[in-house]
Structure 1
Amino acid sequence: MEAAWILVVIFSFVIIISAINNRHELKKKKLDAALRMQEMSQGIKPGTYSSLRRRDRRRERKHTEGTADEGDGTGAWEKENNRAQLKKGIDDLQKRLDNIETIMNSRKGTSYGDNE
């Protein structure tokens, strides 16, 4: 009878540990989904930040350590430079859109003028 109680305790312990593990995995999946939704709402390709695995982080850390301005591995200078390039690219695209709009407006104006 004592062996039965030992088996009950062991199996209940295993069930409790697996339940805690499943709850933790579910919470992790919910957080990952929320992060992906936030990335998509901001216009970032889904999984850009949320899908980094440990080995990818190590590679990224090694890559940024040599190029970081501060030497702490964060790559702050690269982030700043990347933002500046993005802002410049956005401004360039906005100018192109304005040029396209003026060209389209001028074409509409000449096409209506030809018909009259």
Structure 2
Amino acid sequence: MEAAWILVVIFSFVIIISAINNRHELKKRKLDAALRMQEMSQGIKPGTYSSMRRSERTHKYKHTIETADESDTLGSWEKENNRAQVKKGIDDLQKRLDNIETIMNSRKGNSNG
């Protein structure tokens, strides 16, 4: 009978520890999700800070902070610069198409005349 009580205590202890661990993991996931949402709302690449683990912080911390700072300060500028490059590329393509049309028209004119 005494062995049965020992088993009950051990299984109860295991169940309680697993319940506490599950609750802790749920809080951790909620915090991680909130951090990712905050990163996304600020325009930072998701996972920049939230994916860092304690062991990674010692040797990758400086690199992560540098990339995050660059994305924060250059984020809107890069978007504007990217848009300007796209517009410039579209204009360049339009000029090329116009040149091709004039070349094709001149070839058609030379073959007909």
Shared fold by TM > 0.5? Answer: yes
Aligned to 1:13: 13
Structure index of larger Rg: 2
In the aligned structure 2, how far is the partner of 1:11 from the partner of 1:56?
Answer: 35
What residue in structure 2 maps to residue 111 of structure 1? none
Q: What residue is the counterpart of 1:90 in the other structure?
A: 77
How far 1:53 sits from its partner (Å)? 1.9
Tell me what 1:47 maps to.
47
Q: CA RMSD in A?
A: 3.4
Separation in structure 1 between the aligned mates of residue 16 and residue 55 of structure 2, nearest angstrom = 31
| Deviations 1:61-96 (CA, angstroms, capped at 9, x unpaired) | 5x58xxxxxxxxxx8xx79x859x639x739x48x8
Give the secondary structure class of the aligned counterpart of 1:29: helix
- Per the normalisation by structure 1, the TM-score is 0.55
What secondary structure sits across from 1:50 in the alignment? coil
Query: 1:39-78 to 2 correspondence within 5 Å?
Result: 39-61=39-61
Show the counterpart of 1:31: 31
Amino acid at match of 2:15: I
Q: Which has the higher contact order (CA 8 A, sep 6+)?
A: 2
CA distance in 2, matches of 1:86, 1:22: 40
Gaps of 5+ in 2: 88-113
Give me the whole-angstrom Cα distance separating, in 2, the residues matched to 1:8 and 1:33.
37
**Aligned length in residues:** 83
Q: Deviations over 1:34-53 (max 9, x none)?
A: 00011111111100110012
Specify the code of the residue in structure 1 equivalent to 2:12.
S
**Which one has the bigger helix percentage?**
2
Q: State the alpha-carbon separation in 1 of the partners of residues 74 and 38 from structure 2.
A: 20
